[in-house]
Structure 1
């Protein structure tokens, strides 16, 4: 069974609201937020979420290097098969954190990481689309979330199996 770690902001983790930005780094050993909705798609790829790591946007913005380093270390210690950062929807701060963390995990560990966000995060997408895989999602409240969650799982499985990702990337990722 594939072991998955999700990385969230305070909202997706259920630890805070959009005004509650100073939530420090934390972890939950069970699926929360979108990982629960993703259950049916995780089953398709014989995967399960082993941990959800999270950090508030404000805390991240004030401690970027430390948060990136600590999240990467936590991932390396837990040894999942793949890391999914998101879905970030149209939350710019979360998208930035997800992209930076996924990029660092890919650079500093042997564990593949991806991010997912909506097209409203144009600047982050432009800066990272050639460094990491960014799965397309709708903005918050938009249609197509189930399809996006399924696509995140498909990309994760392809990365873990080290198969050619080019066709899938063209179909479901920003490029």
Structure 2
């Protein structure tokens, strides 16, 4: 049997071109495997080969979507592949969005089976998992070896048109699709078995899992704003000029705490944004557009609020794991309560 022909999509980083400074890199195709494609080649053994790799900068794709789509579809079509693989994108948000979008288009418009791999919190996963198979990965490239192994196994089954089993068995994300299957026991028996296990506090697996939502009770209303101490917390990435703590532009692993006690207005000379998920031009011109220090100082001088807290807290929200965000929030909250802060203005982008 002839090898399956595969076209692989990666971003500028995994192609070895550069990081954020090269995120506007225009689409190009290269013969054979590049970067992570070499790992796929090893995993495929003699059953498939990457005939071409398509490279595109994350910013270019997301900011020039119509042009990028057309260019890349033409590149893929020229190689007549049996299969299209994008990523894995892990928790990189713009990369995940590009992988999901181009994979779904290749499948819909060219009729070529397509798939990707992402961390479950990647925004691309939630948007595209019903359109294509997305293998669930960890949140960073440290999981590359395992991610490629799972993706390659599913890719070969897709390419050979073999039956795709359940998400639990194949490792892809649940797509919200239901299939009729035959079981040894009727539904009523299985339900009673589960109930008995639950009553005995034994482990059981429900056949109809319910979604779990975070529920946060709102704090009581501030009775007298004229006596309130207000703090600013932002995921918009505002930092002192030069980003002294090197907060990441995405998938942040830390947050910053910075003194604004001497500032009544933030300018391009003293503050900027570290955020890599939006056009930074306006935020870099005037950081007050993201954290309203100037307006809060006016309200403070007019007696409309009691005091603006001497420090603001900041991180970048794009691609940052929910677990990390919760950890940041818990630490920040403890400090604010200890400092006598009554209320927080939370800003995003």
CA distance in structure 1 between the aligned counterparts of 2:128 and 2:61, rounded to whole angstroms: 18
Q: Tell me what 1:124 maps to.
A: 124
Residues 98-139 of structure 1: CA distance to partner in whole angstroms, max 9, x if unpaired?
000000011001211111111230x32221111111011222
* 1:17 equivalent among 5, 15, 19: 19
Change in 2 beyond 3 A, CA 1:171/1:46: closer
Q: Tell me what 1:37 maps to.
A: 39
Relative contact order (C-alpha < 8 Å, sep 6+): which is higher? 1
* SS state at 1:51 partner: strand
Which region of structure 1 is more displaced relative to structure 2, 161-170 or 31-40?
Answer: 161-170
Q: Which runs of 5+ in 1 are unaligned?
A: none
Number of residue-to-residue matches in the alignment: 172
Q: Which runs of 5+ in 2 are unaligned?
A: 175-349
Task: State the structure with more CA Rg.
Answer: 2
Q: Tell me what 1:62 maps to.
A: 63
State the TM-score, normalizing by the size of structure 2. 0.47
CA distance in structure 2 between the aligned counterparts of 1:15 and 1:30, rounded to whole angstroms: 17
Residues 137-173 of structure 1: CA distance to partner in whole angstroms, max 9, x if unpaired?
2222434x22211111111111111121133675311
Q: Tell me what 2:99 maps to.
A: 98
Runs of 4+ in 1 over 6 A off after TM superposition: none
CA distance in structure 2 between the aligned counterparts of 1:38 and 1:96, rounded to whole angstroms: 21
Q: Tell me what 1:82 maps to.
A: 83
1:19 is displaced (CA, Å) by 3.0
State the TM-score, normalizing by the size of structure 1. 0.90
- Would the aligned equivalents of 1:115 and 1:135 in 2 still touch at CA under 8 Å? yes
Q: Tell me what 1:167 maps to.
A: 166
- Would the aligned equivalents of 1:16 and 1:23 in 2 still touch at CA under 8 Å? no
Q: Tell me what 2:50 maps to.
A: 49
